[in-house]
A = this chain, B = another copy of it.
């Protein structure tokens, strides 16, 4: 009723989050502002159709659906009062009661921070070092300025020419004369960067407390490591979902949001900074280390994240020829970024190679250590873009291919992130087609900021995550559910009750409705298979192109190294069977986890690694797959499972022959 005032005019269940908003406010924005846990891929751009909600009260207050919204909802959903949050607005009057169904919630997600430990013979040589020094006191016969006194005596004792910046000069006179407790005057510790620039001076001897932060700024997750710069040991670990996700699940959506104006860019930048600050708070609290004892941060991320983290105008990275704003390593004052570290500390971002090969790939190259390797290694980091580097100390090439987000659950109807309730493993008996699946359960990390509360309900299936999706083409192929062309096997219709005609062609039931938390079958359809095929074909083509360019074969390559979060959980055999990469013997395949995390940790505690990173950025030859004439020749064959050219997959071909599939 018009004019009636309540405490709130919108409430979300099950979270109970509520508030009062102006008529006309978009409800996706409302949900973001309230911190409602809501799935989204496009970030409210009305593209992904993931933000389905049930309008329990007030449906009549909302306008009619536009065709675009209607197209993304089934008739059944429409009957059940479903709407898309991004397509509706706060009504003039009255109150909305909105239920966010399980299937539209993000939930806690599996996060991976572990990776390779630093090798035992790794030389610790951080950019930041602390030096203790006792200066002669000022007298009438030695009335040098405090700064000159420090410069001259430091040179005498440590042989280094220091530079004392303005910020430190202002308080040097006080620190020099601070007494009390263990502190004596003219007895100080100097925090020095790159053997030259003074970051801070502290009273007394504080050399034993010298810390740094390494962060892998992923588009999905942030992985932070607090390290002791004296020893190179990790003393704290924290991770978070990237708080930029509400502004777009994928980086393109985020850039689309950011490029609307400087304010938007700042919003997206502040989001990731706040996530890193939360991790800092958590690690500092856990370890008893103070924020001011963290004197440097080293960061990596793909080129888009690199720009969005630093606040570099990102628009042009998304337009051909995709030029990055900055390639070289770059130092930004922590204060300007808003990072909760020592006020005079800096954030050091590793260099990138190109628009599509970022600092995270350079970090992976540091982790693999191509520059010290005699062995020829093919490293790949699977994601929406899959970056690959091939080579050894004599030369490296890299490529990025648009493998698409299918293996991350996007574009796949039942796709989801690796969170509780995700099918992470699928086995189908090649003879009986009996389906077995394994669910992710019990992730209790409180690390996810957009998750309003952790659900205690027993886990039931919600969807299928990347590693599950990676099993499906191979399992379908072996069981004859799809043909080598990727076509779903129409002969099973009427024979296998799981195979059925769906709204978008044939589909196969992986989890029946009764075993799910969403109350409907979890299926994989012909359209989903096509997306997965496109993704794996791109990856194969990229890897094969690199091998051809460098004259390598499966035999001359010593190791296939799979890096990254997604790669950590896939079954290499499933990936190989579908032809995601050339048919390497399984013993040559190594899964190394978060290589970017390993690389950034190396860079934090070693200036040699930073020099290597710079070298990689200039020395690794980038191949632009999109315009390479061979790429488009390789790609169509790679759409087949495992490949149209079965000579490349002799073992797989033999196995499929035995099963009678080819």
Q: Which residues of A contact B (CB under 8 A)?
A: 138-149, 151, 164, 166-167, 169-174, 177, 310-316, 320-328, 330-333, 336, 352, 354-355, 624, 627
Contact = CB atoms under 8 A, between A and B. Distances in A.
A352 B321 contact: no
26 contacts: A138-B316, A138-B323, A139-B321, A140-B320, A140-B624, A143-B354, A144-B327, A145-B327, A146-B316, A146-B324, A147-B326, A147-B327, A148-B327, A164-B326, A166-B331, A166-B332, A166-B336, A169-B325, A170-B311, A170-B312, A171-B313, A172-B325, A173-B314, A173-B316, A174-B313, A177-B316
A143 B325 contact: no
Contacts of A624: 140, 143
A173 B320 CA distance: 14
Contact of A336 (B164, B167, B321): B167
Contacts of A316: 138, 146, 173, 177
A311 B313 CA distance: 34
A255 to B, nearest CB: 12
B313 A145 contact: no
Contacts of A354: 143, 145
Chain B CB within 10 Å — which of A143, A149, A151, A327 has the most? Answer: A143
A399 to B, nearest CB: 14
A146 B325 contact: yes
Contact of A352 (B145, B149, B312, B627): B145
Nearest to A627: B140
Contact of A173 (B140, B145, B315, B333): B315
A173 B321 contact: no
A339 to B, nearest CB: 13
A424 B144 CA distance: 40
Contacts of A330: 166, 169
A234 to B, nearest CB: 27
Contacts of A315: 173-174
Contacts of A170: 310-313, 325
Contacts of A149: 323
A167 to B, nearest CB: 7
A321 B141 CA distance: 8
B321 A143 contact: yes
Contacts of A310: 166, 169-170
A146 B326 contact: yes
A323 B143 contact: yes
Contacts of A140: 320-321, 624, 627
Contacts of A325: 145-147, 169-170, 172-173
Contact of A147 (B141, B143, B328): B328
Nearest to A147: B326
A78 to B, nearest CB: 44
Contact of A145 (B144, B151, B324): B324
Nearest to A327: B145
Nearest to A333: B166
Contacts of A169: 310, 312, 325-326, 330
Given A141-B321, A142-B321, A169-B330, 8 more contacts: A140-B624, A143-B321, A144-B327, A148-B328, A149-B323, A167-B336, A172-B313, A172-B325
A419 to B, nearest CB: 34
Contacts of A177: 316
Contacts of A326: 145-147, 164, 169, 172
A172 B310 CA distance: 13
Contacts of A314: 173
A185 to B, nearest CB: 11
A312 B143 contact: no
Contacts of A141: 321
A627 to B, nearest CB: 6
B144 A323 contact: yes
Contacts of A327: 144-145, 147-148
Contact of A322 (B143, B320, B322): B143
Nearest to A312: B170
A418 to B, nearest CB: 33
A138 to B, nearest CB: 4
A147 B148 CA distance: 37
A145 B328 CA distance: 9
A173 B147 CA distance: 39
Nearest to A164: B326
A139 B326 CA distance: 16
A354 B145 CA distance: 7
A141 B323 CA distance: 11
Contacts of A313: 170-174
Contacts of A143: 321-323, 354-355, 624
Which 4 pairs from chain A and chain B are nearest by CB?
A145-B327, A166-B332, A143-B321, A145-B324
Contacts of A321: 138-143
Nearest to A332: B166
Contacts of A147: 324-328
A272 B147 CA distance: 24
A627 B143 CA distance: 13
A327 to B, nearest CB: 4
Contacts of A174: 313, 315
A138 B312 CA distance: 18
Contacts of A333: 166
Nearest to A319: B138
Contacts of A320: 140
A175 B148 CA distance: 41
Contacts of A139: 321
A568 B315 CA distance: 59
Contacts of A167: 336
A170 B309 CA distance: 11
A354 B139 CA distance: 13
A221 B59 CA distance: 71
A173 B139 CA distance: 54
Contacts of A145: 323-328, 352, 354
